[in-house]
Chain A
Amino acid sequence: MSRILVVDDEANICVLYSEELADEGYEVVTASNTSEAIEKLQEGQFDLTVLDIKLKNESGIDLLQKLVKERHDMPVILCSAFSCYKDDFSAWLADGYVVKSGDLSELKQEIARVLAKKAQKAKTGL
C-alpha cells in the first residue's frame, strides 16, 4: 500500500483527501504546515507528497525545494487553487500539478501516474 503525505492548511481538505484517497487504497497521513510535514517525513517513509502551494503564511514552493533537495526519490504533486503557478519555474520542480477541484478524479489520475512512473523508475533504474 502506497503511503501519501497530504500537506494542506485546510483541515476539511485534509479530511476529504484522506477519505477519498483511502478509498483508492492509499494510506494517507496529513500535515497542516511545513514543520509538521517535515516532522512526519522524518518519522516515516512516504511514496508521494500532495502539497498545497499556499499554506497560511508559508509557501509550499519553499517546502517543495527542500524536498527535492533532501528527498529527491519521493515525488511531489502540487495542488493549488491557482492555475497560474503552472507557469512558475519553481513549480516545475514538482512531478505533477493539479488545480484544486471538488472532482478529485484528476488528482487521483495524477497520483496513479506519478506512482507508476516512480515504480517504473525503481524497476528500470531510469
Chain B
Amino acid sequence: MDWECCWDREVISMGDCPNIREGDEDLLASQRRRILEKCCDCPNFKRDLIRFRDSGHPLSPVFSLVHEEYRRQKTQIQSLVSFLDNKTLEVRFLHELGSVLQSSVDLEEVLSVALTAITAGKGFGMNRAFLFMTDKERGHLQGYLAIGPRNYEEASQTWNEIASNDLDLQTLAQNFRKNKLSAERAKFHDILERLSVPLSRTDHILVKALDGKHPVLIEDAFHHPEIEPEFARLLGVDTFLLMPLISRNRRVGVIIADNCITHRRITEEDMRSLETFTFPVAFAIERAALYDRLQVELNRVTEASNKLKEQQELIVRMEKMALVGRITSSIAHSIRNPLMIIGGFARSMLKNTPESDPKRDFIESIVGEARQLEGVLDEILNYSDSLYPTRDFWDANYLVESAIRDTAEAQRARGCVCGFEAGHDLPPAWIDFKQVAYCLRTILQSDIDGTVEQGVISIGTSLEGDVIVIRIEDRSRCVSQDELDTMLTPFSSTQDLGGGLGLALCKTMLDKQGIPLNAESLPEGGLLYTIILPTRKEEQP
C-alpha cells in the first residue's frame, strides 16, 4: 500500500512532510519523534488511517482507538503544561513581590509595589486598585492611594508604555513611585477624600470585608443590597473585588480592585491569587507604618536628647559663669573696701592740706589713681553682670532720657549739651534695661569727655522697620575710623581717646544681647554711634 504520510520512512528529505519546517531538521532522520510530534496530527496520516480502516484489517479499529486516545491525552497534557507554566509564572511573581516587600520599610515604596503588582500585566493584571488604610486614632477607614487609568485612552497609553519597556515589577514600582505617585494621588484625590468610613459602621461593605478577613467579590454593585449607591457611584463600576489587609489579626486596610476599562470578568482564581498576595502586603504595610512611627519617635527622642544635652551644657556654662561672677564679685568686694578707704582718706587729707603744701600733689595722685581703679572695678563688675542679661520690654525714649539725666553733672562740668529728639509712637524695646542704660551712659560719658567745650551732642530715636535706632551724633569731635574701631576693641590702647575699657565692654555687652553698636567717623567731621534695639523677642540670639 502506498501511504500519503511519511511515517513509514526512516529518513525523509525537506519537503517530504508538509509539517516539517525550518528548525525541525533533526526530525528528518528521527522517525520515532517525527511520528509522535508531527504525523499524529497530520491530515495525510489521518487519510492513511482511513485507508487502513477501509482495508478491513482486524487491527484497524484498535489502531484508530489508540490514535484518538493518544490525541486526547496529548491535549490534556498540553493544557496541564500551560497551567503549570502559568502557576510557575505566578509563583515567580509572588516570590519577586515577596522579596521586594520584605526588603522595604518605606511605606510609599511598599504601597507602590503593592498597587503596581495588582495592576501590572505581569502581575495580577487588574485595571485599577484603591487602597484604604485604617486610621486607628480617628477610628476610620480612609481612602489613601489609588492607581489606574480613568478612561480608555489613558489606559491604552499606559499599557503601551509598559509593553514597550518590558520592565520587571521592582523597576515598574520604582518608576511609579518616582514619576506617577503624586499624579495618581492628585488624580484620585476627589474619590479618595470622599471614601472614608467609620470603623464602627459594621454594616458598611468595606468594614464587613475587613471584619470578615476574606476577599469579597461584588457583582452588580449598583443593585447590590449591601452596597450604598453613593459608594458604587464613586467607584463607577459594577464589579469589583474587596481584599482585606490583615496582619496578625490587626486590621491594616482594604484594597479594592476592578477592571473598569476592559471589563474582564474577575474569576475565583483571581480572588485566590490576590488573597495569597494580600498577606505579605498587609504585613509589609504594617511594618512600614510601624517603622515610620518608630522614626518619628526616634526623632523625638533624638530631639529630646539634644535638648537635654544643650541644657546640660547650658547648666555647666551657667555654673562656670556663676562661678566667674562670684569670684569677680568677691575679688571686687575685697578690692573696693580698701580702695575706698585709701581714696576716702586721701580726699580727707587733701581737704585739710593747704594749696602750698608740696605733699598735696602726691595726695592728689592717690585720689586720682584710686578713682581710676574704682572705674576699672566698676567695669569688671558690670562685665560680671553682663553674663546674665535679663530682658524685658522697655521704653527706648525713657532709656535715653535716663542716660542723659545720669550724665547731667558731667555735661555741666564740661559745658556741653545733649539735645534729644524723641521718636513718636515707638514700640517697647526688648532689652536688658540696666545693661543698655549702662552702655548708653558710657557712650555719652566717653563723648562728653572727648568733646569740645560748649559742644552739642545730638541724640535721636526712631522706628525703622521693626527695630528702634538710637543715634548719638557729635559734630564737634573728630576721630578717625581706625581710632573708633580701636575704642570698640577690648584690650586695645585707648588712653589717648579717653574711652578706657568702657566702649569695648559696651560692645561686648550689647553683642551678647544681639544689639549692634556701630561707631562711624563722619566724612564731613564728627562721629556717629548707632544702636539698634529689637522690638521682638525672637530677634534675640
- A residues near B (Cβ < 8 Å) are 10, 12-13, 16, 19-20, 23, 54, 81-84, 87, 99-104
Contact = CB atoms under 8 A, between A and B. Distances in A.
Interface stretch (B33-41, B338-346, B457-465): B338-346
Contact of B329 (A23, A82, A87, A99): A82
A20 B345 CA distance: 9
Given A81-B336, A84-B381, A102 B344 contact: yes
A102 B347 contact: yes
Nearest to B345: A16
Given A81-B332, A84-B385, A87-B434, A100 B337 contact: yes
Contacts of A82: 329, 332-333, 381
A102 B350 CA distance: 12
B378 interface: yes
7 contacts: A16-B341, A23-B351, A82-B332, A100-B336, A100-B340, A102-B339, A104-B344
A23 B344 CA distance: 13
Nearest to B334: A81
Contacts of A12: 341, 345
B246 interface: no
B379 to A, nearest CB: 11
B330 to A, nearest CB: 10
Interface in B297-351: 329, 332-333, 336-337, 339-348, 351
Contacts of B343: 101-103
B371 interface: yes
A104 B336 contact: no
A81 B371 CA distance: 14
A102 B340 contact: yes
A102 B370 contact: yes
A15 B539 CA distance: 51
B346 A102 contact: yes
B48 interface: no
A9 B232 CA distance: 95
A100 B340 CA distance: 7
B374 A102 contact: yes
B221 interface: no
Nearest to B373: A102
Given A16-B345, A16-B348, A83-B381, A101 B374 contact: yes
Contacts of B348: 16, 19-20
**6 pairs of A and B residues whose beta carbons are closest in the complex:** A102-B343, A81-B336, A16-B344, A81-B333, A12-B341, A102-B344
B510 interface: no
A10 B342 CA distance: 13
Contacts, number: 61
Contacts of B371: 102-103
B467 interface: no
Given A103-B347, A104-B344, 19 more contacts: A13-B340, A16-B344, A16-B345, A81-B332, A81-B333, A81-B336, A82-B329, A83-B378, A84-B329, A99-B378, A100-B340, A101-B374, A102-B339, A102-B341, A102-B343, A102-B346, A102-B371, A102-B374, A103-B374
Nearest to B367: A102
Contacts of B374: 101-103
A32 to B, nearest CB: 13
A101 to B, nearest CB: 6
Nearest to B351: A23
Given A87-B434, A101-B374, A81 B337 contact: yes
A101 B340 contact: yes
Contacts of A84: 329, 381, 385
A52 B310 CA distance: 40
Given A82-B381, A83-B381, A10 B347 contact: no
Nearest to B341: A12
A58 to B, nearest CB: 15
A22 to B, nearest CB: 11
B135 to A, nearest CB: 54
Contacts of A87: 434
Interface string B178-198: 000000000000000000000
A81 B339 CA distance: 10
A16 B339 CA distance: 12
Interface in B338-368: 339-348, 351, 367
A12 B297 CA distance: 66
Contacts of B329: 82, 84
Contact of B347 (A83, A100, A104): A104
Contacts of A83: 378, 381-382, 385
B341 A13 contact: yes
Given A16-B345, A81-B332, A102-B347, A10 B337 contact: yes
A13 B385 contact: no
Nearest to B434: A87
A87 B348 CA distance: 31
Contacts of B351: 23
Contacts of A103: 343-344, 347, 371, 374
B364 to A, nearest CB: 13
A83 B343 CA distance: 19
A20 B336 CA distance: 18
A84 to B, nearest CB: 6
Nearest to B384: A84
A99 B340 CA distance: 10
Nearest to B352: A23
